Structures are given as structure tokens and as C-alpha cells.
Structure 1
Amino acid sequence: MHYVTTIKPFYRSILCRNLKFSTHSQKYEFLRELEIDYENPGLFDGNWGGTGQILHCISPTTESVIAKIQTPTVEETIKAIQKSLKAWYYWRSLPIPKRGEVVRQIGNELRRYQIPLGKLISLEMGKILSESYGEVQEYIDICDYAVGLSRMLPGKIIPSERSQHILIENWNPLGVIGIITAFNFPIAVFGWNNAIALVCGNTTVWKSSPTTSLSSIAVTRIISRILNRHNISGSIATLVTGGSDIGKALAFNKSLPLISFTGSTTSGLQVAQEVQQRFGKTILELGGNNAIIV
């Protein structure tokens, strides 16, 4: 079963080529700005780690290895989800405008790193630069939108049949939200989910595509710096990298009341069925993998 876009056989066949980018060369200086090295931890739950399989990140343009990622094991993923759940109890207790202020600062930090993040997307995913910069801008824009929501999330005051009583409608956060993203929008799709989830009082566990995991690491480093400034646990925005086994661990985990999945219709159907079996909720953005002739 596949829950994310896996590395295609063509790319797997060239993993044996000992080619890599020099992260210290002037051309790829933006990698250093984003704290991306040749070897990177693929788990963040407040601390960076991971002892699972090595994932090779390959440029689709040059077929060269950009970097390596040490992915987490399934057991480490489950523990990271539990840490995010513990952090949720604190995060949900903060006033909504306070959560909005944290998201506002995340948006501002993304503005600072929009150019290097865009370059990383182009390098790792293959988009042209203008599209890559625009993708980061989408995350920035949704942060702005979420900040506005933090000042206007509605509730109702409803008349009661009892004398001198009123009924008050209050929306409560769900808990830990699982976010599984595809390769084609490695940052924007996460941003759409993450900014809204945080403002509403939820924490997130992000499972990124294996082919664009460096982008997720770079974004998570940016978010973690903001959380650290506020003395908030980094497990508010947990990251796990890896293959379908990690995606499956999220889909089956009862601690995740909602899974937001972006990917193929085939994988999305599997995710929907597995989450429904435990009476969870899903947000699905699905499509096909179509061949094109240029």
C-alpha cells in the first residue's frame, strides 16, 4: 500500500551513482541558509533525530544526489505523535489571538527565507523559480489569513427555554492533525493545513513526500525557531519523513482525529477507508498521475 508518492524505479536505479551537490559551493549557498547539509535528520518532535532508513534526495534535473536524510522508524513516528498530543494540551489552552501571533511570526520568517526556499523547491522538485517563489508566497498568504481568523473565529449566543439562561456555542480544537503531502506542492499544501490548524488550537504531524523531504526539513527548521522564541514545544509542528510505512502509521493512529491527505486517488481511497474504520475524519485532495507528450 502506498500513502505518498514513492521514489520511481528510474530514480532508484541511479542511487548507486555517487554524485552529490556541494552544499558549500557558492552556487548552492542557499542550502546553508536553510541549514541543509549533505546528511540530515528526518524526524523533528522538538528534537531532531531518526534512526530509520537512509533516504537519498535526488535532483530530477541533474539526476544527482542533493543530500541524504535519516528517516524515523515506525516506532519513532508513533512516539512523536504522542509527544505532539502532549504538547496539544498546552497549545489549545493559549488564547486564540496568542496562537495567531505565533502564526504571524511564522509568516514573517517565511518572508525572510522566500528566495532560498524557492530555490530549494526548484532544485528538489523541478519547478521553475517563479512557480517555486509563488508556492512559498501561498504559505505566507495563508498565515496572514489565519492571523485574521484568530481575531474573528465565531460562536453563537442562542436563546434558552430556561429563565435567565443562555446557550453559548463554542468551537473546540480537534487535537493532533496528520498532514500527508505530495511532491508537486512540497510547501504550499502543508502551509494551507498547518496555519489554519495552529490558529484553531490543533497541533500537526507532517508526513512529506520522500522525493521532496528537504523542503519539509527546511520549513520545519523555520517554524521551530519561532516556537523556540516563545518557549513552546517544537512538537507543536512535528515532522516525519520516509515512505509508505510512515504514512500508514499516521492513517491507523487513533491519536490523529483528522488526516489531511494530498496524493493519488488510489492512495487516497485507501487512506479514507482506514481512517473511517477508526471513525476519524479526512480532508482529501486527490488526482491522477497522467502521462504527457511534449
Structure 2
Amino acid sequence: MKQTIEELPITKAIQDVLQQLGIKELNPAYSTGLQWAEGEGRTTRTILSPADGNKIAAVSMATPEDYEKVVTTAAAAFKVWRKVPAPKRGEIVRQIGDKLRQHKEALGKLVSYEMGKILQEGLGEVQEMIDICDFAVGLSRQLHGYTMHSERPEHRMYEQYHPLGIVGVISAFNFPVAVWSWNAMLAAVCGDVTIWKPSEKTPLTAIACQHIIRDVLTENELPEGIFNVIIGDAEIGSLMAHDTRVPLVSATGSTRMGKKVGEAVGARLGKSLLELGGNNAIIITENANIEMALMAVVFGAVGTCGQRCTSTRRLIIHENVYEQVKERLTKIYPGLPIGHPLDATTLVGPLIDKEAVTTFLGALEKVQAEGGKLIIGGEVLSGAKYQTGTYVTPAIVEAENHYEMVQEETFAPILYLLKYSGDVENAIELQNGVKQGLSSSIFSTNLLETEAFLTHWGSDCGIANVNIGTSGAEIGGAFGGEKDTGGGRESGSDAWRIYMRRQTNTINYGRELPLAQGITFKIMD
């Protein structure tokens, strides 16, 4: 039998979680794996839960001097770590995965309480970390290159991949641990070291992960500096982006933030991996299984309270089924349980903070001024249960694709209903008619429609799904998008290559020196 929030000892449960994960009342500004920052004099930031407004803990904010210490330590660790055989590096990652399994429930609860996503999503995020560890272990024995036939006699050609160095990871609040693990675990088996700057809104989960990793490093007598975390604001991220000692910066967040990072890294000819905004659409054709589509739409639109980069923001519906879909959604939305994310009955938790609520309300006001029609939701909930002011009712708006607000990504639970007529190519044109290109989906039982969606003139997104929603990607596939989404790829497939430097090798095992392209070059005695 599920318990309601009134029956759950939330405060006691969180206290137990914090103790298990090593979270103190005031937490250090950085860790180099084994050592934590010492000394005082830093500014502090208090972390409040969006679920109930209670203080969870406080963190010290790192200084530029702290950043310098972390980079120096990481650079020294790289010289050691890169010489460890890749399968041995994979063994360390395997042990990290095992530790995460041991702490899954506690870490999942902390993710939920600190960020606001419901507990099932918090647990799912930790499972995603475990899965990427498993993936990385196998990858550690498959860091392959290619062999090629040389045009020159008695020559052999091949290519190989070498560790890159320090990988900077800037993560966002909505997935406070999973996206870091995508980067850090693959980078680790590739022979790189990482410096993680988590979102200043959700730093406690990062500190908890660092405690877990510290145990593995200690047990294996490894040096500090392989896995590093630094708690700071945009200044720390800027230092990382401009630092030539950090050859790759992986940044997740808004398009605006990503452009700044990309510009700074590009100016020094570094590598950037950008996972930015999404304005994701589901197409529902007249041949769709409507009930199946509705399940995907609702989870995609209200999951994580609309704060996923893969959240469903636009619903493109054929005119013949438009009213049917609209009617079903307006019946489903009022029954969605909104409440404390640790309550097992909750399906919609809070927005991250009041600033996000202001953005939510502002977007609804603007789209209605453009001609949009709010048909349900859009309210800020009040009362004892919602005293934080961060709980809202998910909104549905009838709109047109060209509206300015529809063209933008609002990180909140707003679903725009768009009508199309004619064949599926008209729907695809609407789907592609935004600046972002992360995730997309079509619901149809018509093979001609689904195959058209997957062609090179179909969806222009990095992720294109058939009869599943836009959110909930598996780690086995490369994750990322096109256009203003940044073009980066993380997680599965061959995404590991960006964490390494590629080298082509040619070996002459003969006694002559023929040149390529048949060039003759003789030196006169």
C-alpha cells in the first residue's frame, strides 16, 4: 500500500540520507578525489529543497585560487592515469558502479529532494549512472582504431586513439548526476581525468557522488585528481572554458550558456561538447494509436515538471484526430497528482525555484498575447501543501508554430497544441520549423508515414523516435542534437571518441623510402 506524504517521515528520511552520503551542514568548495578543500573565508550558498522549502545543507563556493589547485592536481593525475591499461581503468569504473548500486536508494532520494523530480525519476537517474558504468566497463576493452592498406610497398597504416587530458564537465540542475556520469565514466576508461562543476542549484548530489568515488580510489590506492568536483558559479565555468589546460569542455544547459562556452573554447581551438536546449515535438497522425500516444505525451510534457531537455513541448496533431486528442488531454491533466516528490503517489513535483515559476507564468502571458488559447492549467498552487510557491499546474495551450514563445524553449510544463492538415510532410515541416533539434517523435501505424519521418528529409533532430515519446533515452545510443542544441553526442554508440585524440600511424618496414602519390625526390650527393 502506497503511503501519502502525511504518513512518510520525510525529515527523518532525508537526515538519514544525508548522513549515509556524507553530506554535512557546511560542505567544502572542492574535492580532488581524496582531499577536500580546507580553510575558511569563502562565501557560502544555502541549498533549499524546492519540495518543501527546508534547508538541506550549505556549500562553500570555490574561488579562482581553488580552481587553480584543482586543475594542477588533475594535470598531475592525468600523467599517472593515462598509463593505466584501459581494462584496468574499466575495473575502477566497475567498482564505482557497484558502489552506486549500494547507495542507489539514498542517492535517488537526494536527487529527488534537492532537484524536485519525483522519486521514481530520481531512482531512474541513479540507475542511468549504473548503466553507463556497465557500458564503460565493456568499452574499456573496445577502444579500437582501424587498419588501412598503404599505397606504398612494405608500409602499414593504422589509426589509434589516445587519452585527451583533462575533461571539464559543466552539468545542469535537471539531471544533477546522470549527465556527469555519461561524461566522467567514458572519459575515465579513455584515460582522461575530469573536473566537474555541477549546477550551483544542485551541488549536494555531486558532493555525494564524490564521497562514493573517494572510497573506490582509496581502496585501489589511486592518486587524487582523477575525479574532481568544484562548487562554484559562472565564474568557475568561465575559467574552465578559457583554460588551455582543459582540452575538452562538455557543457549541458541553455543555448545561451552553451554559446558562451563554445565561443570561449573555440577561441583557443579547444574541443567543446554541447548539449543544449530542446523544443521537442510529437507528431500524432490520423493513423496513430491514440491511447499509446497520450501516455507518451503526458509523461513527456509533465515529467520532471517539464524540466527535461527532452520534454515534449509541441504536439502536432492531424486535424482529423485533433479534437479527440485535445479532449482526452483535458480530462487527464486535472487528475495528475501534484505534490511532494518523495510521496509515492506524486506524478508532478515542483519547479526548481520561484524564478522558474516566474518564467512559466511569463511564457503563458506572452503566448496568449500572441493569440494562444490557454485551455487548462497555468496556475501556481498555494496552501500548506504547496507553501514553497514552486508548484504549478501543467498547462496546455492551443497555438501556432510561428509564435515567438512556441519557437523558444520554456523550461516548464507547457504543452502547445498545433494542428496540421494533409500528409505527414506538412507535420514534419512544422516539427523542423524551430531553431532547436534535439528529440522528436511520431505516432503512426502507417509505415509510409513513419519511414518518411526517419528519412534525411524527415526529422532534423539528433533523436527521432517512432511510437515512443521524446524523453527517456537509453544509454546505449548516442545522445545529442543539431542546430541550437549544440551538435554534441554523449553516452553510448561511438560517443567515446570525443574524449580521445585521434592519431594516424604509418610504419615503413622496408629498406626503401617511397613517397606517397608517386612523388620522386632525389638528393644529389
TM-score of the aligned structures, taking structure 2 as reference length: 0.50
In angstroms, what is the RMSD of aligned CA positions?
1.8
In structure 1, the residue matched to 2:28 is 41
Q: 1:215, 1:80 → 2: CA distance?
A: 19
User: Where does residue 15 of structure 2 map in the other structure?
Assistant: 28
Q: Which amino acid aligns with 1:291?
A: F
198-207 vs 151-160, greater mean Cα deviation? 151-160
Structure (1 or 2) with the greater helix fraction:
1
Distance 2:153 2:80 in 1: 36
Q: Which has the higher contact order (CA 8 A, sep 6+)?
A: 1
Shift of 1:167: 2.2
1:235 pairs with 2:304: no
Which residue does the alignment assign to 1:60? 50
Query: Contact conserved, 2:14 with 2:110, CA < 8 A, in 1?
Result: no
In the alignment, is the contact (CA less than 8 A) between 1:156 and 1:168 conserved in 2? yes
Cα distance in 2 between the residues matched to 1:216 and 1:238: 10
1:121-154 deviations in whole A, cap 9, x for unaligned? Answer: 1111111100000000001101101111111111
> Runs (4+) of structure 1 moved beyond 3 Å?
23-27, 160-165
> Is the 8 Å Cα contact of residues 228 and 234 (structure 1) preserved in structure 2?
no
Q: Distance in 2 between matches of 1:44 and 1:62?
A: 29
Q: Which amino acid aligns with 1:232?
A: L
Aligned partner of 1:262 among 241, 252, 257 = 252
Q: In 2, Cα distance between the equivalents of 1:157 and 1:27?
A: 54
Bigger-Rg structure (1/2): 2
Superposition pairs of residues 181-196 of structure 1, within 5 angstroms: 181-196=171-186
SS in 1 for 2:201: helix
Listed as ranges, the gaps of 5+ residues in structure 1 are 1-22
Structure 2 letter corresponding to 1:155: G
Q: How does 1:174-213 map to 2 (within 5 A)?
A: 174-213=164-203
State the one-letter code of the partner of 1:267.
Answer: M
Residue 91 of structure 2 is aligned with which of 94, 101, 105?
101
For residue 48 of structure 1, give the secondary structure of its aligned residue in structure 2: coil
Q: Deviations over 1:9-37 (max 9, x none)?
A: xxxxxxxxxxxxxx994552111110111
> Do the aligned partners of residues 110 and 33 (structure 1) sit closer, same or farther apart at CA in structure 2, a change above 3 Å counting?
same
Contact 2:176-2:199 within 8 A present in 1 as well: yes
Deviation by residue 1:227-275 (Cα, 9 ceiling, x = unmatched): 1111112310010001111111111111111100001111111111011
Equivalent residue for 1:112, pick from 91, 96, 102: 102
Q: TM-score, normalised by structure 1?
A: 0.88
Unaligned segments of structure 2, at least 5 residues: 1-9, 279-355, 362-377, 379-392, 394-525
1:49 is aligned with what amino acid?
Answer: A
2:51 is paired with a residue whose SS is coil
Cα distance between partner residues in 2 of 1:80 and 1:137? 29
Pair 1:291-2:360 in alignment:
yes
Q: How big is the shift at 1:163?
A: 4.2
Aligned mates of 1:174, 1:26 — CA distance in 2: 42
Number of residue pairs the alignment of both structures matches? 272
Query: Is 1:166 aligned to 2:156, yes or no?
Result: yes
